[in-house]
Structure 1
């Protein structure tokens, strides 16, 4: 009789980083944009995190990415970090509550499923039911006061989720650098692009940020980028995309709770109902993925 299936410790740690640490970053972004322009905040965050990781990995003897790998990392970094995380940061700067932002990003598994069509993925009826339910949830979310008061924020959040999903699926088909070097290269390129965007937009600091602003930046760079993002990239290589994006079940609840406790955010009945609908949709989509045997990657 076979013994119980073991769940490796690295996977447990990676899922914890996604579920808890990433859930907290929405609140920290909300705090950060009070002191930093949004594109500048994202650019410094990813450039600093990428530089630290790249330097450490090279010091440990990791090979530098090839030109082909740099190009692949640039594509994924721009999709996930410049467009994905950058759009979330700008949306929160427009006034969208951190919990609502996390809830909108919870639609990533829906877009992940749809993006699979580009590589011939076939979906079950249960997964299609999840997509339909998810679309209903998105509509309900947009009826809430948070997003109705910020149409730009609503559009940015949906764009961020779609971009993140496409990049997540595409990353499995590109010649990325090995291991954590992929994350370092992606952050370096994404951070540089965000800072260029910040300069073109004319962002500037009116005054040097206080300690709270620097702590928010440091938390996002170390915990949100180096730890949590690497955990996400690790999971993309070791579990199915739907499992890797399962943080969408937990992040909204973590973000809403932290927003209420620490900055007094509120969500209306529409957002609360939308949360239930979207999380139910994500569960419908992900259940068949969890049941499928993991393909042999050789």
Structure 2
């Protein structure tokens, strides 16, 4: 199913909305799979295995097709891997142990859209406007409510805060990575980024997590193996590549609008399949954050005109 990016990009250009829907579904559904894997494996180890397997599979496929050129540019990819894989996914998996899968989706994805917009403005890739400022303001109010007594319990706020920081790292990497994606094959960038990030996560896991206490035989259990396989195939190979491909045809902030749909999917699946519930404060906080992302990332009238003409 994997194709060279030169073949895939025209398809994405022709059907960007479909690619966007698949991206939302893939990443929205991975939070529940993550919770299953975390019942047995430490968070950094789980994420390390996920990205080493995904990146390794993709690199091997590219090598077999003689389409692997990016290894010499590993220094350019390494900072992106640190921000978008190690920092973002490492902190997300660590924090997801303490909060529901739906709320984990909210605090680890919505800040990405707000951060992408802020960094885009700072780097002059986005034009500031009142509407964008209003959206960021609504999102910040939602975050403040989430970290108040009406939102998350005190014992969960630290985990949620670190997940938000990881999300900002992902946002920064999304903005900075647009230049790299334009220089190389999107599959090469995705593969090397995942592999480097996964290797770094495994090194960190070896240092800070006790592998002696890991129940390695549990990897053969259908639930755990299925969770890891889903994270690798749907979450990484499908979602990560779709995200990188969309960055080639859409502005980074527009691609980041998945962050106000993904949490809704995760909350719905958590409620239907895992019996998760949110209190009134969390619902209001999440709604404000999602609304803020929606307002801030709504295309300007001028942008709509340009897109309609192209």
Normalising by structure 1, we get a TM-score of 0.91
**Aligned 1:63-142 pairs, distance under 5 A:** 63-67=68-72, 69-93=73-97, 95-104=98-107, 105-120=109-124, 121-142=126-147
Question: Does the 8 A contact of 2:54 with 2:194 survive in 1?
Answer: yes
Deviation at 1:125, TM superposition (A): 0.8
Answer yes or no: is 1:35 the counterpart of 2:40: yes
Q: In structure 1, what is the equivalent of residue 6 of structure 2?
A: none
Find 1:206's aligned residue among 202, 212, 215.
215
Deviation at 1:197, TM superposition (A): 0.4
Deviation at 1:90, TM superposition (A): 0.6
Distance 1:191 1:66, change over 3 A: closer
Q: Distance in 1 between matches of 2:86 and 2:302?
A: 33
Question: Does the 8 A contact of 1:43 with 1:192 survive in 2?
Answer: yes
Greater alpha carbon shift after TM alignment, 239-248 vs 169-178: 169-178
Distance 1:289 1:169, change over 3 A: farther
Q: Distance in 2 between matches of 1:23 and 1:59?
A: 31
Q: Distance in 2 between matches of 1:43 and 1:7?
A: 29
The Cα offsets for residues 108-152 of structure 1, whole Å up to 9 and x where unpaired, read as: 111111112442243111101111111001111223554533132
Find 2:170's aligned residue among 161, 164, 169.
164
The Cα offsets for residues 235-257 of structure 1, whole Å up to 9 and x where unpaired, read as: 11110112101111211111011
Q: In structure 1, what is the equivalent of residue 31 of structure 2?
A: 26
Higher helix share: 2
Deviation at 1:65, TM superposition (A): 1.2
Partner-residue secondary structure (3-state), 1:13: helix
Q: Distance in 1 between matches of 2:302 and 2:16?
A: 17
Gap runs ≥5 in structure 1: 1-5
Greater alpha carbon shift after TM alignment, 175-184 vs 226-235: 175-184
Deviation at 1:81, TM superposition (A): 1.1
Deviation at 1:35, TM superposition (A): 1.4
Gap runs ≥5 in structure 2: 1-10
Deviation at 1:291, TM superposition (A): 5.1
Root mean square deviation, CA, Å = 2.2
Deviation at 1:86, TM superposition (A): 1.5
Q: Distance in 1 between matches of 2:216 and 2:251?
A: 45
Q: In structure 1, what is the equivalent of residue 179 of structure 2?
A: 173
